[in-house]
Amino acid sequence: MIDTDFIRSQFPAFSDPSLQGWAFFENAGGSYTCSQVIDRLTQYYLKTKVQPYAPYPAAQSAGDQMDETYVRLAEYLNVQTQEVHIGPSTSQNTYVLAQAFRQLWQEGDEIIVTNQDHEANSGVWRKLTDTGIVVKQWQVNPITGELNPDDLTALFTDRTRLLSFPHCSNIVAHINPVADICKLAGDAGVVTVVDGVSYAGHGFSDVQALGCDVYLFSLYKTFGPHQGLMVVRDSVREQLPNQSHYFNNDEPRKRLVPAGPDHAQVAAAAGIADYFDTVHQHHFPKVEATSVARRENIHQLMRQHEIELLQPLLDFLQNLNNVRVIGPTDATVRAPTVALDVGPDSQAWAREMANGKVMCSSGHFYSKRLIESLGLSAESGVLRFSFVHYTTEDEVQQLMDVLGTIAKRAA
Ligand SMILES: Cc1ncc(COP(=O)(O)O)c(C=O)c1O
């Protein structure tokens, strides 16, 4: 069982007086940052805020700290170090990828996108229609919001080059069977780009086992700094044309990140691995484990706690008047990101939640196409709560108490 007191002691936000009494349910927008990351960031700014890799000690240390991040996060994701790229955000990373992939394709080539995605893994691909690429849509079920892999294969032709889809939607939260989908695509010779942003905060995945070609997520939603990480498997990376300065062509880490890296934040991201190591050491003190096994242990620990908190919340929500849960009501098949259709006044509901010291918000959360395909108004959108492994039962109770009162009043 997870030791939430210990876990929360790793996050300074939980002991800051300004946040006392506030239940944080906006983790899908960005998680709190662990002290390991904050410490590394502070130390970098204090001691090594210089040009990394230059031939003097502070610069060597700066470069070493950055290198460490790539090595340790790659280990936790079970991929090669050179397959990890860190750019300013996932939206920027997908944009660069789309430009790079386009250079490989001919007019009339086809790609498949979904209407379940956040716009970051949708719009950049759809825009390629302007350059002669044919874009097809793998549609969600308009009632459940889920994607059905059985609908996918009919979209493949001998001109299909790429499929982009989410590991889990930031609204529907159903965990897509990524490995199965990637196998279907791989068998058809189609490259897969998976947006892992909404899932990664609930545990890192073994990206090799998922079988995708590209896996993206945002470190600021996984207890780290405001950067986007993408894994681009070697087989694909080697084909993609350089998107950086021409003289960076032979630099694997720079080819797909034209923005100069934010050195301090890249360095600080190794704190996520420190945090995972600390969590593992505390909960599995006797287990000597590889990073792959540690990742799996931590992932299960987090998921188990999340599911224990999520199922009673889903049960409560199903019995509440004036509220409809989007996505599955079985906690084991979804992430703890819960979007509710509360009608046209979702903003007012969010304000009232804040009056009850529950941090959450409303809107379409950049998944406008999905909201519309579910027959909802993009203007009012949904009321959304999201939590992670550091959330407590008491906080979920606080959410239910405040929401229950608002729902009764709205009746
Ligand atoms: C599911 C999902 N994908 C992509 C993104 C975009 O990430 P970034 O803010 O790093 O561009 C977000 C951001 O909220 C998201 O929730």
**What is the full DSSP assignment across 120-135?**
GGTHHHHGGGGGT-EE
Residue nearest to atom 4 of ligand 1 (CA): 120
Q: How far apart are the first and last CA of the chain?
A: 39
Ligand 1, atom nearest to 169 Cα: 1
> Tens of pLDDT along 155-188?
999 999 999 999 999 999 999 999 999 999 999 9
> Tens of pLDDT along 10-22?
999 999 999 999 9
What pLDDT does residue 409 have? Answer: 86
How far does residue 120's CA lie from ligand 1's centre (Å)?
A: 6
> Tens of pLDDT along 52-107?
999 999 999 999 999 999 999 999 999 999 999 999 999 999 999 999 999 999 99
How far does residue 324's CA lie from ligand 1's centre (Å)?
A: 24
Position 411 pLDDT exceeds 80: no
What pLDDT does residue 260 have? Answer: 87
What pLDDT does residue 286 have? Answer: 83
Looking at every residue in the chain, the average pLDDT score rounds to 97
Ligand 1, atom nearest to 166 Cα: 1
CA atoms within 13 A on the CB side of 181: 26
> Tens of pLDDT along 334-380?
999 999 999 999 999 999 999 999 999 999 999 999 999 999 999 99
> Tens of pLDDT along 246-261?
999 999 999 999 988 9
Fold of domain 4-31+292-410? Aspartate Aminotransferase, domain 1 (3.90.1150)
What pLDDT does residue 32 have? Answer: 98
Question: How much of the chain, in percent, has pLDDT values that exceed 90?
Answer: 97
CATH 3.90.1150.10 residue spans of the chain:
4-31+292-410
Cα–Cα dist 162/83, whole Å? 19
Among 214, 218, 388, residue to substitute to test ligand 1 (most atoms within 8 Å of Cβ)? 218
> Tens of pLDDT along 209-231?
999 999 999 999 999 999 999 99
Alpha helices in 256-392 (DSSP H): 263-268, 270-283, 291-318, 346-355, 368-373
Ligand 1, atom nearest to 117 Cα: 1
Question: How much of the chain, in percent, has pLDDT values that exceed 70?
Answer: 100
Among 27, 366, 384, residue to substitute to test ligand 1 (most atoms within 8 Å of Cβ)? 366
How far does residue 121's CA lie from ligand 1's centre (Å)?
A: 8
Kindly report the pTM of this predicted structure: 0.98
What pLDDT does residue 289 have? Answer: 83
Ligand 1, atom nearest to 220 Cα: 10
> What Rg do the C-alpha atoms of the chain give, in angstroms?
21
Tell me whether residue 221 is exposed, middle or buried, using C-beta atoms within 10 angstroms of its C-beta: 0 to 12, 13 to 18, 19 or more. Answer: buried
What pLDDT does residue 139 have? Answer: 98
How far does residue 197's CA lie from ligand 1's centre (Å)?
A: 6
Residues with CB under 6 A from ligand 1: 89-91, 118, 120-121, 166, 170, 195, 197-198, 218, 228
Residue 410 pLDDT level (bands cut at 50, 70, 90): confident
Cα–Cα dist 80/22, whole Å? 40
CATH 3.40.640.10 residue spans of the chain:
39-273
How far does residue 21's CA lie from ligand 1's centre (Å)?
A: 28
Residue nearest to atom 13 of ligand 1 (CA): 29
Ligand 1, atom nearest to 91 Cα: 11
Among 113, 122, 170, 197, residue to substitute to test ligand 1 (most atoms within 8 Å of Cβ)? 197
Ligand 1, atom nearest to 168 Cα: 1
Cα–Cα dist 405/411, whole Å? 10
- Cα distances (Å, whole numbers) of residue 362 to 213, 334, 385: 33, 20, 9
- Structure tokens given for 133: 């690429």
Position 123 pLDDT exceeds 80: yes
Residue nearest to atom 7 of ligand 1 (CA): 90
> Tens of pLDDT along 267-303?
999 999 999 999 999 999 988 889 899 999 999 999 9
Ligand 1, atom nearest to 198 Cα: 1
What pLDDT does residue 353 have? Answer: 98
How far does residue 203's CA lie from ligand 1's centre (Å)?
A: 16
How far does residue 365's CA lie from ligand 1's centre (Å)?
A: 9
- The arrangement of secondary structure in 39-273, i.e. its CATH architecture, is 3-Layer(aba) Sandwich (3.40)
